[in-house]
């Protein structure tokens, strides 16, 4: 489970999650979680790179407008 909310009301327990993996084999679950984190790390690095490029482009455009 990545993140979520757990609510206990009397004997009932409700869980709402954004991302979760299920299963009974702990070895397979561990491997799946590791792969998920690796995938998220790659996506995050790609997103950060794209945002840095966008910020750089914006700064260059603002500088060129200011110089005109």
Query: What is the pLDDT averaged over residues 22-43?
Result: 86
CA dihedral sign, ordered 54, 60, 66, 68: negative
Beta bridge partners of 8: 13
Domain extent, residue 36, equals: 24-68
CA dihedral sign, ordered 20, 26, 35, 3: positive
> pLDDT tens-digit profile of 2-15?
678 999 999 999 98
What is the number of domains present in the chain? 1
Give the model's pLDDT for residue 2.
63
- 3 close to 17: Cβ distance less than 8 angstroms: yes
Give the model's pLDDT for residue 1.
60
Confidence check: pLDDT of 19 > 70: yes
> pLDDT tens-digit profile of 33-66?
888 888 877 888 888 899 999 999 999 998 888 8
In a domain, 2, yes or no: no
């Amino acid at each position: 489970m990545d993140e979520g909310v757990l609510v206990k009301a009397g004997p009932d327990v409700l869980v709402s999650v954004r991302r979760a993996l299920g299963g009974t084999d702990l070895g397979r679950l561990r491997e799946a979680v590791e792969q998920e984190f690796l995938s998220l790390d790659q996506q995050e690095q790609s997103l950060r790179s794209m945002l840095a490029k966008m910020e750089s482009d914006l700064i260059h455009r603002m500088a060129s407008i200011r110089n005109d």
